A and B are shown apart, each in its own frame.
Chain A
Amino acid sequence: MVLSQRKMLHLFFYGVAIWFIWFAQTTLDEYSIRILNNIAIFMILAVSYNLINGVTGQLSLEPNGFVAIGAYVAAIILLDADTMLYQYYIEDPSPVVLAIHSQSFILALLAGGIVSAFVALMLSFPVFRVRGDYLAIVTLGFGFIIRILAINNPHITNGSLGLNDIPEYSNLYWTGGLAIVAVTVILNIIYSKYGRAMKAVRDDEDTAIAMGVNTFKIKTLAFCTSAFMEGVGGGLLACLLTSISPDLFTFFLTFQLLIIIVLGGLGSTTGAIIGSILVIGGAEWMRFLDEPMALFGFETPAMPGMRMVIFSVILILVMLFAREGIMGKKELLERFWKKKKEDS
């Protein structure tokens, strides 16, 4: 009985999500669609970042690196030779970069994801030799290295000028659809032996080993899955913005994702979804705070940046009153079922 109820609830959530994507893409104005696109992409990035950072508990600070890899790979594949020759001022593009070309969006996204995952695999051998704070520092360094490589290899990436005129393939069907796929995949991982092992690694790595869990393999799986999705998200971002440059992929991007998953609750996928809606959507919604306002009869002048002040205050309040974020470590439905079990 409970299982079928649960399945119905899942179907209901999927139905609402798909209906909303269709509704938004057909009726809303361009500005709203743009924000929803942003939210969907950040949702993909946040749930995948949450897998390594929240669920597996490995504090890593590299997603900006993987997003950059995904974005550049997708952009280089989608740009044709003529557009590239026209854009590359600093150095001529390398023949390999010119030769790789396809108009298939899905192929470009997959390539971005696969290259990211491959880099993550290479990185996991040195990275998972260290734990805790050291891991954060090593991965932070990786994020910087990717950005510096992008700036200093103009024959591949066009240096700090970045790439322009990337075809605008991203729309809500793509971003929203892939967000649904990403969330489903992540939840399927979490509710399997792999997800259990990841949580065990987070709670107590030595004990997990004592239970026969190959913790290196588990951490590498989480890291590569997360990198793959961040790469795909990067490709979507490149095709939404149509122009990318190394400045887009600074540590600030990682920081934004970190805020999202900590606000939503480290280790909770539904928390990451709620977090991306609140942080990305809320930041847009609060734009009115920057404008002149009439408050209790007083006229206040325009204060650019006011919304960030308010936003930070809200963030502090949330962290004061909900230490583990909005959702804690639990998923939305887990809370619901637990309550039900206690009632009966």
Chain B
Amino acid sequence: MILQVKHATMRFGGVVAINDTSFTVNSKEIYGLIGPNGAGKTTMFNIITGNYLATEGSILFRQEELKGIKPHKIVRKGIARTFQNIRLFKSMSVLDNVLIGFDFQARYSFLEAITRLPRFFGEEKRIRTKAFEILRYLGIDHLAHHNATDLSYGQQRKVEIARALATNPELLLLDEPAAGMNPAETKELAALIFKAREDFDLTVLLIEHDMKFVNQLCDKVLVLDYGKTIFEGKPADAIQNEEVIAAYLGDFKHD
């Protein structure tokens, strides 16, 4: 049990984005968060990463309360995320984008950076080697010195995942990783997530609309609709569930 969300509620003024939602993600699980647009999936991510403060309820990461902890400290505890719309640092190279993920792991002070003491060179070399390892793992090490925004969409997605992996996470939050990808790229991404789970000891929580992708990948899914949980369980059962179908396709019976 790595992440536990207990009775989380998020209200924006009168709008209830998440309504009394609870779920538990076990270690090394790939957990899917699905639901129609506006169901509160990204809001859930923002609550977990500390960008929003949940109105009610609690979020436990390895039995530790995350509510009220600053977002950058939550990342340092081992929760990394990617964004729905790719948000790379546009003036920086691919390598520098990944090195930002190592920012808090490089141990040298401001004065050591200014005076270029030996520890600066040692630490820079260490994180550079590790960054290249991650880039090589994702097969984009040959693009390291290119400007991040010059790459293709699929490659930019990979840079975003590389950057998230650089923060050495235990829990990885992926916000619609397959959005805008063609079937071949989606397949490759699914394989990558499977492989990375083993190689990096990851637990993955992902938001996705592509049901085939979710079916292939996820051990368990949670279906949200208007902030409420309508289903939790195996993805194969989710697509059979009447309530889930109604939420996605519209409720025909009462029309």
Contact = CB atoms under 8 A, between A and B. Distances in A.
B211 interface: no
Contacts of B212: none
A244 B104 CA distance: 44
A188 B108 CA distance: 13
B63 interface: no
B114 A199 contact: no
Contact of B113 (A194, A207, A209, A210): A194
B130 to A, nearest CB: 13
Contact of A203 (B72, B90, B113, B120): B90
A215 B71 CA distance: 11
A131 to B, nearest CB: 15
Centre residue among A203, A204, A213, A214 by max chain B CB count within 10 A:
A203
Given A196-B96, A199-B92, A210 B114 contact: no
Given A210-B81, A212-B76, A199 B99 contact: no
Interface string A162-195: 0000000000000000000000010011001110
A200 B106 CA distance: 16
A341 B95 CA distance: 15
B240 interface: no
A203 B92 contact: yes
B85 to A, nearest CB: 11
A73 interface: no
Contacts of A203: 89-92
B126 to A, nearest CB: 12
Interface residues of A, number: 27
A213 B120 CA distance: 18
Nearest to A214: B72
Interface in A207-262: 207-215, 221
Nearest to B120: A192
A207 B104 contact: no
B91 A329 contact: yes
B72 A204 contact: no
Contact of B167 (A189, A211, A329): A211
A34 interface: no
Nearest to A201: B89
Given A203-B90, A207-B83, A210-B81, A193 B106 contact: yes
A202 interface: yes
* Secondary structure dominating the interface of A: helix
Interface residues of B, number: 36
A212 B81 CA distance: 11
A197 interface: yes
Nearest to B75: A212
Given A199-B91, A202-B91, A211 B101 contact: yes
A262 to B, nearest CB: 16
Contacts of A221: 110
Interface in B167-198: 167
A209 B100 CA distance: 10
Nearest to B99: A196
Nearest to B49: A210
B103 A193 contact: yes
A195 to B, nearest CB: 8
A267 interface: yes
Nearest to A207: B87
B110 A185 contact: no
Given A199-B91, A203-B91, A341-B145, A213 B113 contact: no
Given A196-B99, A197-B103, A221-B110, A210 B90 contact: no
B81 A188 contact: no
B10 to A, nearest CB: 18
Interface in B49-91: 49, 51, 71-72, 75-76, 80-81, 83, 87-91
B114 A188 contact: yes
B72 A207 contact: no
A209 B91 contact: no
Nearest to B160: A207
Nearest to B169: A212
B110 A194 contact: yes
B114 A189 contact: yes
Contacts of B106: 193
A215 B73 CA distance: 11
Contact of A209 (B72, B102, B120): B72
Contacts of B101: 211-212
Contact of B163 (A185, A211, A214): A211
Interface in A308-344: 329, 341
B103 A210 contact: no
Nearest to B96: A196
A238 B75 CA distance: 47
Contact of B108 (A189, A193, A210, A215): A193
Given A188-B116, A193-B108, A329-B91, 15 more contacts: A188-B115, A192-B113, A192-B120, A197-B100, A199-B91, A203-B91, A206-B51, A208-B100, A210-B71, A211-B75, A211-B100, A211-B167, A212-B72, A212-B75, A212-B101
Closest 5 CB pairs of A and B: A212-B75, A192-B113, A203-B89, A212-B104, A207-B87
